[in-house]
Structure 1
Amino acid sequence: MSNIRINWKKLLILFAIVFLVIQLFGSFFFYELAVKRGPKDFLQKNTDLEVSDKAMDLFLNGDWIDWVAAQKFERLTLTSRDGLKLSGYYLPASKPTDKLVILTHGYLGNAKQMGLFGQHYYIDLDYNIFMPDARGHGKSEGNYYGFGWPDRLDLIDWTQLLVKRLGPDTQVAYHGLSMGAATVLMASGEEELPGQVKAIIADSPYESVYQLFAYQMNRMFHLPAFPLLDSTSVLTKMRAGYSFREASALKEVKKTTVPILYIHGESDTFVPTELTKNLYQHTSSDAELLIVPNANHGESIALDEDKYKMTVDQFLSRYIDLK
């Protein structure tokens, strides 16, 4: 009997060692896969990111591309609270104004891609525009992606820098796409958010990094979130300074006072539409919701551009004075 008990103990110890090794290697694998800065080839064949021909034509051939190339953006830099040199692009309006929009891009994107939206703000709405490269993207430093959480503080610091430059009467709108939408929402409930921020547009956001990754692990790898996602979160906390559960847009919108317009594609399978609906339902400030039929992730503006811009314009006019 004693020999049997010893064997069971050895098996349990072996099982524990194998489990820990799997968790360790799995954590490093998923950190490298999603969080560490670098190309993400696994997304290239992801059917959840396929967009319509109309959207692809706008993204690749739209006149906004030539417009961005023709502008004389001023490149601004900012040192983040943890010492990273961040980069962004500022363009003053064609005539003096106190209106400013800060446009935040998505995962693996870069600042100037937000010219897709910036062109409308600049030409039609006469806004000053600023487009930052998120940490780990474009010309900004950083060896990891923050998925909006450390980026929210960068956004607040950018806002303070621009308000100091443009004056205390500046009226600021945030407009973010996907990860950029999560970023503006994650900033929305922070006590240090400048009072000049009057309105937020969040296009295709997610509730939290943990929730997003849990969904993607199940969809792409058919794996449960626990325990592998939790161990990856611990590794991310050690390497990048944030955990997946703390990185929550949902907890921030529950305490925000800034009006928020949510936009999401009805057919989005990469970041499910239900996430935005839940954010909308739990927002403590004035909130509106636009669901665009047949639109996949991030293509709402392409499939119904007129409705998109009209909704944004009407929303902004309620919270930002026209001067």
Structure 2
Amino acid sequence: MKKSLLKLGLPLTAVAAGTLYMSNKLFDIAFKRVKEVPATSEEKQKYADQYYAYVDWFRHIPQETWYLNEHDPKKRLVATFIQHPDHLKKTVVISHGYKGNRETMANYAKMFYDMGYNVLLPDDRAHGDSAGEYISFGWLDRLDYLSWINKLLAVKGEDERILLFGVSMGGATMEMLSGENLPTQVKAIIADCGYSSIKEELIYLLKEQYHLPEYPFEPMVSTINRQRLGYYLGDVSSKTQLAKNRRPILFIHGGKDTYVPVHMAYENYRATKAPKQLWIVKNATHAESFWYNPEAYKQRVTSFLKTYF
């Protein structure tokens, strides 16, 4: 009997070791910072010329570089601030997507700039020029954005009106930020294709991209995240934060999104008790709503802001 248990124990040990190895690999793939912005998906390659025209605008527009924790290289966060010449005392704070950076939001920056807004574009932890080894998928970033808002008010004055905007992970970041004690100067939020929770998004991607089950991988990745970043994935969600939100919010989501499934937009919408609008762009894929029809996108955003900003 003892020999048979030993024989049985060897493969179980091997399976456990293999599962732990795979979970660590999955964590590194999903959470570890990358040196360069990954190439965009094939369906968005057709927008490349338009995208780089916006990037060119971003690189040449007069701007300032702002910092948080400037003299601590392990905690330093970096942002670009663009002052609108009309000085209308309104600023949009823009949150970028997963493994992106502030430059990848150039199209949205120009859209809001053309609408008369100053623009503040931070690089999140473990992205772009900001410090950090691991991506927090918005949860720790929400507190950084609160610090950016406070810095903005200190620099521009207490009479500045603030709009929060984000796409993909950035959308979820703003949804998570919405449940915090925001300054009264924050007037409205726009969240484009944000996920309902980090855990739900991970489970979805495990199945769709890696053909792996939730168990045992999600609990193990969550435990690794607890060790590295201080929280279990199931302990945080956009929906929980949105339930505490008091700011008007516009949700935007592509109807053909297969990266952050559209049902998450409905979950986030239902979780919100504040004034809210939901716009499903029927034929758009993930983070494509702007590119699919830029003029319609601007009109919808403008209509929301006329009502609530």
Q: TM-score, normalised by structure 2?
A: 0.93
1:163 is aligned, of 153, 170, 179, to 153
Q: Deviations over 1:172-193 (max 9, x none)?
A: 1011010111110010011x32
**Count of residue pairs the alignment pairs up:** 308
Q: Which residue pairs with 1:59 in the alignment?
A: 51
Residue 238 of structure 1, CA deviation: 1.0
Residues 153 and 82 of structure 1, relative CA distance in 2, 3 Å threshold: farther
Percentage identity across aligned positions?
A: 34
Structure 1 window deviating more from structure 2 (81-90 vs 166-175): it is: 81-90
Residues 196 and 261 of structure 1, relative CA distance in 2, 3 Å threshold: same
Residues 12 and 39 of structure 1, relative CA distance in 2, 3 Å threshold: farther
The answer to whether the aligner puts 1:273 opposite 2:262 as a matched pair is yes
Q: Which residue pairs with 1:89 in the alignment?
A: 80
Q: Which residue pairs with 1:183 in the alignment?
A: 173
Structure 1 window deviating more from structure 2 (75-84 vs 29-38): it is: 75-84
Correspondences of 1:227-238 after superposition (within 5 Å): 227-238=216-227
Counterpart residue identity of residue 91, structure 1: I
Distance 2:226 2:36 in 1: 21
2:276 is aligned, of 287, 296, 301, to 287
Structure 1 window deviating more from structure 2 (238-247 vs 307-316): it is: 238-247
The answer to whether the aligner puts 1:319 opposite 2:280 as a matched pair is no
Check whether the contact 1:54–1:302 (CA below 8 A) recurs between aligned residues: no
**Structure 1 SS opposite 2:277:** strand
Residue 242 of structure 1, CA deviation: 3.1
Distance 1:118 1:138 in 2: 17
2:140 is aligned, of 142, 147, 150, to 150
Q: TM-score, normalised by structure 1?
A: 0.89
Distance 1:97 1:161 in 2: 18
Check whether the contact 1:236–1:243 (CA below 8 A) recurs between aligned residues: yes
**Structure 2 SS opposite 1:245:** helix
RMSD: 2.2
The answer to whether the aligner puts 1:133 opposite 2:129 as a matched pair is no
Unmatched tracts of structure 2, length 5 or more: none
**Structure 2 SS opposite 1:207:** coil
Residue 273 of structure 1, CA deviation: 1.0
Residue 83 of structure 1, CA deviation: 5.8
Distance 2:248 2:300 in 1: 14
Residues 175 and 67 of structure 1, relative CA distance in 2, 3 Å threshold: same
Distance 1:196 1:130 in 2: 15
Q: Deviations over 1:297-322 (max 9, x none)?
A: 111111121221111111112222xx
Unmatched tracts of structure 1, length 5 or more: none
Check whether the contact 1:37–1:144 (CA below 8 A) recurs between aligned residues: yes
Q: Deviations over 1:269-315 (max 9, x none)?
A: 11111111111122111110111121111111111212211111111
Check whether the contact 2:94–2:166 (CA below 8 A) recurs between aligned residues: yes
The answer to whether the aligner puts 1:32 opposite 2:28 as a matched pair is yes
The answer to whether the aligner puts 1:100 opposite 2:96 as a matched pair is no
Counterpart residue identity of residue 309, structure 1: K
**Structure 1 SS opposite 2:234:** coil
Distance 2:50 2:205 in 1: 27
The answer to whether the aligner puts 1:202 opposite 2:198 as a matched pair is no
Counterpart residue identity of residue 27, structure 1: S
Q: Deviations over 1:190-234 (max 9, x none)?
A: 1x3222111111111101111111111101111111211111111
Distance 1:53 1:26 in 2: 32
Residues 311 and 269 of structure 1, relative CA distance in 2, 3 Å threshold: same
Residues 166 and 31 of structure 1, relative CA distance in 2, 3 Å threshold: same
Structure 1 window deviating more from structure 2 (51-60 vs 276-285): it is: 51-60
Check whether the contact 1:55–1:303 (CA below 8 A) recurs between aligned residues: no
Residues 221 and 94 of structure 1, relative CA distance in 2, 3 Å threshold: same
Q: Deviations over 1:2-44 (max 9, x none)?
A: xx3x245335543542343123212211111111112599x76
**Structure 2 SS opposite 1:126:** coil
Distance 1:197 1:314 in 2: 18
Check whether the contact 2:73–2:131 (CA below 8 A) recurs between aligned residues: no
2:42 is aligned, of 50, 61, 64, to 50
Larger RCO (alpha carbons 8 Å, 6+ apart): 1
